[in-house]
Structures are given as C-alpha cells and as structure tokens.
Structure 1
Amino acid sequence: MRELVVEADGGSRGNPGPAGYGAVVLDPATGETLAEAAEYIGVATNNVAEYKGLIAGLRAALDLAPDAAVRVRMDSKLVVEQMSGRWKIKHPDMKPLAAEAARAFPRDRVTYEWIPRERNKHADRLANEAMDAGRRGEQWSPRDRDAARAAATPPPSGPPGDAAAGAARARAALSAAAAAATPSAAGRADAAAAVAVPAVDGRPAGRDGRAQPPVPDTAPRGPSAAEPAPAAAQAAVPAAPRASAPVSAAPPDMAAPATFVLLRHGETALTPEKRFSGSGGSDPELSEAGRRQAAAVAEALAARGTIQHVVSSPLVRCRRTAETVAARLGLDVVVEPALRETDFGAWEGLTFGEVRERHPEDLDAWLASAKAAPTGGGESFAAVARRVAAARDRLAAAHAGRTVLLVSHVTPIKTLVRLALGAPPESLFKMELSAASLSVVAYYADGNASVRLLNDTSHLRR
C-alpha cells in the first residue's frame, strides 16, 4: 500500500485574530512535495486553524491516492492527541472540526505523529503566507509561495559588471517581501486591541530592563524611590530603521508570537488580609473562595479554547489553580520553579504595617533599592527579576508560536509585564493584580513584546 505524509499547521495573529492554515503532502521515500494547500480563514483561534489545516491536508491526500495510508505529522500536541483518541475533546468548537477531520480520509488508514515546530517549517510557512495574503485582502495562491521563495533565494553570481544590478534586484525583492510579510505598527496595534484573552503563541521579545525589580502586591500604591537596574543588565531596544535605509538582510520572522496568558493563583487565607506570602514561609492551600475562582477561570479559558500548554509555579496555591484549569482543558501541568513568588524572609505572613513597625529601616532600604532584600535573608527584587527573565526566555523558546498559560504570583507576573513595557521599577507600584486575574503578553521573534491584557477579572463576576 502506498504511503503519504501530511504535514499541517495553522496560526492566528492575535489568537483569536487573523488566521490561516497550511498543509503539504509529501512522498515519504523521496521527500518530494506532491501537493500544497493554504487558506486565510478570517478571525479564528490557533486550534481552529490547526484543525482546518489538518482537514485540508487529508483531503489533498485523498485526491492524490484514495487507497493510500497517511501519516500525519503536526507540531500541535492538542490536535495529535485528540485525533489519536488519547485526549478527550471537550471544547464545543473543536468537536465538529475533529469529526470533519475523521471523515476527510478513512480513519483506519491514518496515523498521527507529533513533531517539533522546527520540523514543520513547510506547513508553517504556508500558513503564514495565507495570513499575509489575507492581510492584503486576498486568498493564498502559488504565487505567494513562489514570491516568498524567490525573496529568500540569493541571486545567482554573474560577471563583475552585473554585480550592482544583481544587488539592486536582491534588495528590491527583499523589500517587496518585507512589505508583504511585516505587519505595520498600526496593524499590530489594531490586532492587539481586538484581543481579549489569547492563548500562548510566541517567542522571546522586547527585553527592556530585564534585570529590573518587580514590586509585590503587598507594597504601597504610592511612588517609590526604587533604583533602576544597572545599564549593563538592560537589553537595548533596537530603533526602527529609517524609511530610506536599504534592506540588507532577510525579512524579519513574523510568525505568530509566543503568547503568555498570565494567571495569578486563587485566594488563600492570607490574600484578603494583604499579608506577605512568598516562597520562604508557609505554603498555604487555596481557600474556598480561591477554589471557586480557579473553577471560574477554568470555565472562561475553556470557552475561549486557546490554551495549548499549562505551566505552574511549584507552590501549592498555584499548582491547585493550574490543576483545576488543566483538568478542564484536558492538558497536563508542567512545573517551572523559577515562577515561584519572592522569598520575603522574616516578613512572611506579616502585613505591610506590621513590617513597618518591626523592621522600619530594612523596609525603607527595600523600597529604595532593587538590590535590598527583606529582613532575615529574603530575596531581592533584582534577583527575582533575573530568574523570571531567564524562565521567560526558556519558555518562549520552547513554546514558540504557541499559547501558554503561566500560573504564578504577583511579583513574577508584574515583572513580566513591566519588562515587556520597558517601564521603570516604580511603575509596578501602580499595577493592581487581583487573585485569579488574567494578563497577557505576546513575544515576537523580531524582538518586540505586546502587552494585551492586564488584571482581567471579568470571569469572576459572572
């Protein structure tokens, strides 16, 4: 029996946002491309786009060889596990798509295999070409593929007299490709404004002030004299190129961003009293109110259908919140130690007023400098920011182009938001972060970050 390989992918620039899919049918023996399909599908989520890519790939395989066996390879763990029957399909929007995929090719002759994103570049490229075409008000066609490949192919060498003309042609091709592939700042802003809570799709981005300190929710809401991190610890943001500057490199990678949906854990007994509750004291469980909050956010995220991975701080209040959400979504929880809360030393369990009364000099030093640590060997904000930034980079690289739920605490979440904004440390005194609130940051491969949501608690008021 003849065998075919189908590779498929889908993406959404906003999640939900402008979306498209790509699929390719390959000869497994030679690697030859037998068929390609891509389509802009309007506003949709990543998961919807991925399923539609799978359906298109299976239909293309059926047209080529109705009697073949098909091996589907995708970098979507969700689609692979659901179509293999190992994960339940709970989201109502996914069920009809999965059923359509099951009908697209005889099910007993289809197997599914998960592959890393870097091995699914062909389908990913087609999906991005489809989204680029949609941004121009068009549908994908083979000319989009040919233009992208021509732009990425260096011009052939020729006689010395042709060097200037060849370079000019190359620059023109790259400029055209960049114009077609790169969303404008206004376009990206519009897309960000249209997003409520996306799912994780992204990559490392704007690293401004990565070593600057966060500010815990227990700190006062007024201005502070916290000092910025040393300049050597800060990553510069490249200036936008001048309009007249020649294009001298390949167009930037504008694939879907890595999107972090940041969830603060539900309430514990200490939360309503605004007591310092870090990683150096007791490890409280969720209160009854906290468990209700976790269930509410789980339902809200299930309704959106965008989360693809769940990562949690190791502390109990986060793990319980994450487990509640993951169980509703049919996902596993991965623990990331660097997402733990600050160690507040001798201040653990105290209110801000009690710390002011017992340790006034240490508190003043802590408020004035990111390098100062709480009494009794606690952790400085600068130290927290360093570990959180390192975790951000690891997770964004591991989940490029995906939507990931990070369940964490006040300090790590505020740190991620502040670093994405490139804001000074004192700006964090002005951020509110409620229990079980959602915030969203997307990281683009070109070095930019987009804060899309902060402290959303609408799901708790239903």
Structure 2
Amino acid sequence: MAARFIVEADGGSRGNPGPAGYGAVVRDGDTGQLVAEAAEFIGHATNNVAEYRGLIAGLRAARELDPDASVDVRMDSKLVVEQMSGRWKIKHPDMQPLAAEARTVFPRGRVTYTWIPRERNKDADRLANEAMDAGRDGRQWEPRKPAGAVDAGAALAAEPPLEKSAPKVGWAAPADLGTPTTFVLLRHGETPLTPQKRFSGSGGTDPELSDKGRWQAERAAEALAARGSVQAIVASPMRRTRQTAEIVAARLGLDVRYEEGLREVDFGAWEGLTFAEVQERYPDDLSAWLGSAKARPTGSSESFTTLTHRAGVARDRILARYPGQTVLVVSHVSPIKTLVRLALGAPPDSMYRMELSAASICAVQYYADGNASLRLLNDGSHLR
C-alpha cells in the first residue's frame, strides 16, 4: 500500500527581499513521526520565493521516500496554499515557474493543501531560520539529528482538527489568526518645503515643522486620542517626524521610540529642488529614477530598492516588539508608501500612483499567517 505523508514547509527572508532560506519536514501520515527534513540557505530572495522553495523541497523529500505516496501539505502561507489549491491566480513572474515545478513532483490529485497557523508550523520555521543562520555564517545547513529522531505523534494527535481552507483576511479576519498588529502610519506635518513640493529627504537640511505643520500634528493627536487604540509610538529620527511624534505622544501620554529604518530616502543632489527643477537640471537622473526602483539620484546613497530593504527590516522589528498591538508609526512619504506597497504586494512603480498629504493617516494590519490588510489610505479628515 502506498504511503501517506504530511509535509510541513516554510520559508523566510530577512529583509524581504534579503538573505533567505527554507525548511521542510516530512511526517508519517498515520503516526505523525518525523521521517525526513530538509533546509537550505538560498541567498537573496523574497519570503514568497523561499516558501515555494520549501514546498518543493518537502515534496521531493516525500517522493524520495515513496514516489507513489499521497501527500497533505500543511503551510502557514496563505498565498502558497491558495495558489497551489487553484483558488488564487499566480500573477507574479517569480512565483509561476516555482508553482509549476511543485506540480511536477507528484501527479495531480495526489497532493492536498491545508493552511495551518504559524504556531503549528514551528519545525519548518525553525529549519528555515537555521538555514538563514547558516548562510549568515557562510555555510550551508546541516541536520542536527538523523531523520526519525523526533516522534511528534502524540503532539499531533492532541491538536484540534485542521482547517481545510485558508482563512479570509481583510475586514473579517478569523479568530484563529489572533489579534493582528496594526500600524497607524502618520506622515509628519508640513515643513516650509512641503507646500512648495520640494524634495526633502534624509540628505537635505532636515527642516522643522512650520506653524501649520504643528497645527496639523495637534489635530492628528486629537483624532488619535479620540480613537483611543494606540499603544506605542515609533518614529523616524528626523526633526520633522520627531516633532510630530512628540506632539502626539504628549497628548496620548506615551513615549516615543526612534527607528532609523523609517527615515526618508536620500534624494542626493535633488534635495530642496522642485520636480520641475530636477527635470531641467537632471533629466537623465529623473528618467532613470522613474523607470527603475534601482536608480538613484546623483549624489544619493539610496534607491527605492534599498529603501524597501530597510523599511522592511524596520517593519519586522516593530512587529516583533509589539505583537498584537496598535502602533503609531510616524514617518515620511517614501517609507509609508513602501510599507503600503509591500502590504498590497504591489509593484514598485505603484508608489508614483499614491498621494500622501502632510499629516495624513494610513493603517495596515498584519496577521499571524504573514498576510497584511490595508485598512486606510491618506485619511486627512482630522484636518478639515
């Protein structure tokens, strides 16, 4: 009789994209006993790529044990489970060949996909982190124990029945995902450069709030106090964000924690110029910048690609520090747009299609399965 296996797989990226790795375990489908495990550091990649690579490795490990087996794949990645189950389309070009490869390991109909909460995917998550640690140290992952050394049958038998479909996120998140972590994203109030629409990044003069900017920050503080949900405040260390955060913190009775990753991007030689002035003085720069997230203005140390990396790292640090809490994140146009873009899974050029007014509020919720939901964008009702 053909075997029945359970494959648990996971992947991660420290930076998203960043140094990435995957982990997978294969269990006997009847006893829950661990029969195989796999992990690998895969270099620079996204979370989703790493998750798919973990899936493929787990399926291959199961096939090596019995090519005629049936397999129940269990993952905490809603994206992979829904896409491989055929309920979601696979639009991203990096995902399409990986999904196609996963489908070739076993014949159609012999693999099922089940979403599980992250806390029930700990072994695969541990292996993925071991692989990333190994990559950080300049080596590849090696197993610590022979396959079969861990008997998880009793633990599996005690677990509640698995959900057979991925949870819905957004406006109706299920209770088994727990309380999401909410980022209330507040852009700083106006500076003297804001109404003139001049580039003002981390490489410029670091201007203060104008009188109007302070008024805007006070109105934001009143609105946030009325909502009554903010439990922590994290801000960019630049002057205008510090001042905005301090005004809100004084109203809410909270302290401010500063995060370097929330700084505005460095605009180099464009600092202090209007868009029209940049177009006149640096036309090639501007054309390249509008055409590629990897392009940098003359004299700048950063592109939107590098901003994405550091903003993602900052996001993950905040999520780790404040799980299940509502955090006010006081930052700038580019970092906030980046966090919104990442939450939506939108392409880099989507940043050029977002409007974020001074002292406007956005909100993103992050769930236990790694997904995010945009709840609010560019809300300025408190300023009217």
| TM-score (normalised: structure 1) | 0.49
Change (3 A) 1:280 1:246: closer
Decide which of 80, 84, 87 is 1:238's aligned counterpart. 80
1:289 aligns with 2:101: no
The equivalent of 1:321 in structure 2 is 244
Matches within 5 A, 1:266-277: 266-277=189-200
Q: CA RMSD in A?
A: 2.8
Instruction: Describe the SS at the equivalent of 1:338.
Output: helix
- CA distance in 1 between counterparts of 2:17 and 2:196 reads 30
1:457 to 360, 376, 380: 380
**TM superposition shift of 1:378:** 3.6
Q: CA deviation at 1:211?
A: 4.6
Q: One-letter code of the match for 2:251? A: R
Q: In the alignment, what sits opposite 1:380?
A: 303
In structure 1, give the amino acid aligned to 2:255: D
Please name the residue that 1:201 is paired with: none
Cα–Cα, structure 1 residues 246 and 422, in superposed 2: closer, same or farther, change >3 Å? closer
- Counterpart in the other structure of 1:446: 369
**CA–CA distance in structure 1, aligned partners of residues 352 and 244 of structure 2:** 25
Q: Secondary structure of 2:81's match?
A: coil
Q: What runs of 5+ residues in structure 2 fail to find an aligned partner?
A: 7-11, 19-42, 49-78, 88-110, 121-161, 164-175
Contact 1:343 1:379 in 2 (8 A): yes
1:363 maps to 286
Q: 2:335 aligns with which of 398, 408, 412?
A: 412
SS of 2:196's equivalent in the other structure is coil
Query: Can you list the C-alpha shifts for 1:212-236, whole angstroms capped at 9, x where unaligned?
Result: 9xxxxxxxxxxxxxxxxxx953332
CA gap 1:247/1:368 in 2 versus in 1, 3 angstroms? closer
Provide closer, same or farther for how the CA distance between residues 247 and 265 of structure 1 changes in structure 2, counting only shifts above 3 A.
closer
3-state DSSP class of the match of 1:275?
Answer: coil
- Using the TM superposition, give the Cα deviation of residue 368 of structure 1 relative to its aligned residue in structure 2, in angstroms: 1.4
Q: Distance in 1 between matches of 2:177 and 2:324?
A: 10
User: 2:32 matched to which residue of 1?
Assistant: none
Distance change (3 Å), C-alpha of 1:248 and 1:272: closer
Structure-1 separation of matches of 2:304 and 2:331: 16
Query: Deviation per CA, 1:83-103, whole angstroms, max 9, x where unpaired?
Result: xxxxxxxxxxxxxxxxxxxxx
Structure with greater Cα Rg: 1
Partners of 2:308 and 2:359 lie apart in 1 by 22
Cα distance, 1:418–1:210 mapped onto 2, change above 3 Å: farther
Q: Is the 8 Å Cα contact of residues 310 and 332 (structure 1) preserved in structure 2?
A: yes
SS of residue paired to 1:260: strand
- Distance, in Å, in 2 between the alignment partners of 1:269 and 1:371 is 29
Task: State the AA in 2 paired with 1:233.
Answer: A
Given that residues 81 and 113 in structure 2 are in contact (C-alpha distance below 8 angstroms), is that contact kept between their aligned partners in structure 1?
Answer: no
- Conservation of the 8 A alpha-carbon contact between 1:210 and 1:419: no
Structure 1 segments unaligned to the other structure (5+ residues): 1-163, 172-205, 213-230
In structure 2, what residue type is equivalent to 1:425?
A: P
Which of 348, 356, 360 in structure 2 is aligned with 1:433? 356
Structure 2 residue aligned with 1:391: 314
Residue in 2 that maps onto 1:41: none
| Cα separation, 2, equivalents of 1:292 and 1:323 | 13
Q: 1:247 to 1:304 in 2, by over 3 A?
A: same
Q: 1:393 corresponds to which letter in structure 2?
A: D
Describe the shift of the 1:423–1:246 C-alpha distance in structure 2 as closer, same or farther (beyond 3 A).
closer
State whether residues 237 and 258 of structure 2, in contact with CA within 8 Å, keep that contact through their aligned partners in structure 1: yes
- Are the structure 2 counterparts of residues 246 and 358 from structure 1 closer, same or farther at C-alpha, using a change threshold of 3 Å? closer
Alpha-carbon separation, structure 1, partners of 2:277 and 2:44: 36
Q: Against the structure 1 CA distance between its residues 269 and 260, is the aligned structure 2 distance closer, same or farther, given a 3 Å change threshold?
A: same
Partners of 1:248 and 1:352 in 2: CA distance? 47
CA distance in 1, matches of 2:273, 2:325: 39
Q: How many Å separate the matches in 2 of 1:411 and 1:363? A: 16
- Find the aligned partners of 1:255 and 1:372 in 2 and give their Cα distance: 40
What pairs up with 1:22-171 in 2 under 5 angstroms? Answer: none
The corresponding residue for 2:269 is: 346
Q: Is 1:211–1:382's contact at 8 Å kept on the other side of the alignment? A: no
Among 170, 182, 203, which residue is 1:280 paired with?
A: 203
1:399-435 CA distances to partner (integer Å, 9 max, x unpaired)? 1100000000000000000001001111111110000
| SS state at 1:450 partner | strand
> What are the Cα deviations for residues 231-268 of structure 1, in whole angstroms up to 9, with x where unaligned?
95333242327499475964585110111000000000
User: Matches of 1:425 and 1:407 in 2, distance apart?
Assistant: 22
Are the equivalent residues in 1 in contact too, given 2:363–2:376 (CA < 8 A)? yes
Q: Matches of 1:408 and 1:210 in 2, distance apart? A: 20
The whole-number CA distance in structure 1 between the counterparts of 2:276 and 2:113 is 59
SS of corresponding position for 1:459: helix
1:49 corresponds to which residue?
A: none
> For 1:271, what is the secondary structure of its paired residue?
coil
What is the aligned-residue identity percentage? 62
Change in CA separation of 1:295 and 1:238 when aligned onto 2, cut-off 3 Å: same
What is the one-letter code of the residue matched to 2:245? A
CA contact (8 A) 2:81 2:115 kept: no
